[in-house]
A and B are shown apart, each in its own frame.
Chain A
């Protein structure tokens, strides 16, 4: 690899390593594109799970569907980080590419630059903001959920546009052995058909300095790094990997064997939740039922194993015990497939009030949980009672519930 000798802006030719090749970029790009595709689709699932539009009914089965899709979302993003770093390193010399003298060339060059600029900016933004969010680190002033969602569209759009621009180069590069030379002439087809079509392709036309690693090794190294990143973090959602995931954001431990996302202290709810005069209110129009904790415990109890699957990508399964939501509805004469407003004791916060669609309300597995792992619910898990429904994002499994309200 050559380094610029004098302090001037480097030119394309300065970075002459044969590793800076479309042969590498295309191969790493396929994996990177797959990661972004998975992250985008699972991101849509999560978006719809949280802000269910009218035309969509989010399913309640399989109970771990959201656990899987959101785990995939975070893991595909994590896997993409080493791939993106290697990919950008590979194409870095193109940063110094200059357009030809003609106006058309300048315009095409500028357009391609703009599309690549959006792609790189959006890709780095999505991976960085997603990674930081998985550790609940928010050193920024934008709203994470909506912004991460919007920029996700930017990223996937710029990626599709990029594939369109690069399709001839990608096809040529993938159709040839990895050691073959491929022109990286951008929008134009490769301009060295003779070189790329030769029966015994050389590493490069002008032999650069030895680099110590082959193109194939570089691609495999990128994939290995990606795999290591996944294994090192996946323990937060895959119990089997907990011991080897040295960078997992959750070890899986917590009160009653389940980690927590927001403590009672952080929700400013401790005194309210521990108040001896606590009563749950169930409202259906003018009919109201008010139940003490003892009265809730006297109702018919059920116990189910359901996961808590957080949008941050961690998840854990617990054995939840309590009363069925639909049993509570019968107390106020409401049909079991009612839509519900679930109100928490927490005085503020985006998820202090949540909406429970009818497919969850009528589900046998949807509980107002009073116990976890056979014990009275820990205050950080939502004592005196919390909502637990199958296949729901954790933020919507409202804790410290004080009121259930039937909505039309």
Chain B
């Protein structure tokens, strides 16, 4: 493994050098403009996006009832990350009046459709979880600690399965 690691490290350094060389070759003004975006992306992610997500996530977990937590987290991660992907489409920043074939959808309406689908999936999964919890409590199966059965059902509990006879 040590050999593999050394070879990988050397290959990595060579590839980085190739990239740096190619970048510098374009010209100094281009390199400065690129550097601004390279650093800007990290700053935006590490000092704005992630703290906001950490705080929002913590609040969400504390505020939500236990049966709602997992579907809510799963739904938020899906909708949140896909919304990040959709920012350039939602804003239509690249749209041009002379080219109606570019960015030619109603993306805001599309976002609401996606949000509605995710919300319904979260609701179904949450109601399913509540139903199962209720049955379990009714059967008197007292449990403590992390629920391994829930862990196994993972994503399945989110949308497709819904309430299941156990």
Instruction: Pick from A221, A251, A261: contact of B78, CB below 8 A.
Output: A221
Interface residue stretch chosen among A152-160, A289-297, A299-307: A152-160
Q: Which of B17, B58, B82, B107 has the most CB of A within 10 A?
A: B82
Return the contact of B12 from the options A161, A211, A249, A255 (Cβ within 8 A).
A161
With A179-B151, A214-B154, A265-B98: A164-B61 Cβ-Cβ less than 8 Å: no
- Is the C-beta of A375 less than 8 angstroms from some C-beta in chain B? no
Q: How many angstroms between the C-alpha atoms of A171 and B77 in the bound complex?
A: 27
Give residues 220-252 of A contacting B (CB, 8 Å): 220-222, 224-225, 228-229, 232-233, 246-251
| Complex Cα spacing A139 to B70, Å | 38
Contacts of B5 in A (CB 8 A): 164-165, 167
- By secondary structure, the A interface counts as helix
**Contact in complex: B70, A246 (CB < 8 Å):** no
Q: How far is the CB of A42 from chain B (nearest CB, A)?
A: 17
Q: How far is the CA of A250 from the CA of B100 in the complex (A)?
A: 10
Centre residue among A88, A124, A155 by max chain B CB count within 10 A: A124
**Total chain B interface residues with beta-carbon distance under 8 A:** 79
Given A3-B55, A213-B73, residue A131 in contact with residue B38 (CB < 8 A): no
**A225–B16 Cα gap in the complex (Å)?**
30
Question: A140–B37 contact, CB under 8 A?
Answer: yes
Of A136, A146, A164, A249, the contact of B8 (CB 8 Å cutoff): A164
Verify A137–B99 contact, CB threshold 8 A. no
Contact of A82 among B19, B46, B85, B154 (CB under 8 A): B85
Asked if residues B53 and A89 are in contact (CB atoms below 8 Å), the reply is yes
Across the interface, do A136 and B107 meet the contact criterion of CB distance under 8 Å?
no
Interface string of B15-32 (1 = CB under 8 A from A): 111111011011001100
| A124 contacts across to B, CB distance below 8 A | 41-42, 45
- B64 CB–A CB distance under 8 Å: yes
Checking B82, B84, B154 against A217 with a beta-carbon cut-off of 8 angstroms, the contacting residue is B154
Q: Are A122 and B38 in contact, with the CB atoms below 8 A?
A: yes
Asked if A125 is at the interface (CB within 8 A of a chain B CB), the reply is yes
Please, what's the 1-or-0 string for A361-393, where 1 marks a CB less than 8 Å from any CB in chain B? 000000000000000000010000000000000
- The answer, yes or no, to whether A132 is at the interface (CB within 8 Å) is yes
Q: Is A214's CB under 8 angstroms from B9's CB? A: no
Assess the A147–B23 pair: CB atoms within 8 A. yes
A85 touching B84 in the complex, CB below 8 Å, given contacts A163-B8, A179-B151:
yes
Chain A, residues 4-28, CB within 8 Å of chain B (1/0): the string is 0000000000010000000000000
Proximity bits, A33-55, B CB within 8 Å = 1, else 0 = 00000000000000000000000
A151 to B84, CA, bound (A): 21
Query: What's the minimum C-beta distance from B143 to chain A, rounded to whole angstroms?
Result: 13
The reply to whether the CB of A101 lies closer than 8 angstroms to some CB of chain B is no
Closest A residue to B110 by beta carbon equals: A246
**Which A residues are CB-close (under 8 A) to B78?**
82, 221, 224-225, 228
User: Do A249 and B33 form a contact, CB below 8 Å, given A121-B38, A135-B94, A263-B99?
Assistant: no
**B127 surroundings in chain A (CB, below 8 A):** none
Contact present for A157 and B155 (CB under 8 Å): no
A2 to chain B, nearest CB (A): 8
By the criterion CB–CB under 8 Å, are A212 and B61 in contact? yes
Interface residues in A244-301 by Cβ distance below 8 A to B read 246-251, 253-255, 259-263, 265-266
Asked if B96 and A161 sit within 8 Å, CB to CB, the answer is no
What B residues does A163 contact at CB under 8 A?
8, 12
- Say yes or no: is A129 at the interface (Cβ < 8 Å to chain B): yes
A160 CB contact (under 8 Å) in B11, B25, B70, B82: B11
Most-contacted residue by chain A among B34, B73, B78, B113 (CB, 10 A): B34
B102 interface residue per 8 A CB criterion: yes
Query: What are 14 contact pairs spanning A and B, CB under 8 A?
Result: A1-B58, A82-B85, A92-B54, A118-B16, A125-B41, A132-B93, A140-B37, A142-B37, A149-B22, A157-B15, A163-B8, A210-B66, A213-B73, A225-B78
Q: Which 7 A-B pairs have the closest CB atoms?
A: A246-B110, A157-B15, A161-B12, A212-B69, A153-B19, A154-B19, A164-B8
Query: Which residues on A are within 8 Å of B, measured CB to CB?
Result: 1, 3, 15, 78, 81-82, 85-86, 88-89, 92, 95, 115, 117-118, 120-122, 124-125, 128-129, 131-132, 134-143, 146-147, 149-165, 167-168, 171, 179, 203, 210-214, 216-218, 220-222, 224-225, 228-229, 232-233, 246-251, 253-255, 259-263, 265-266, 380
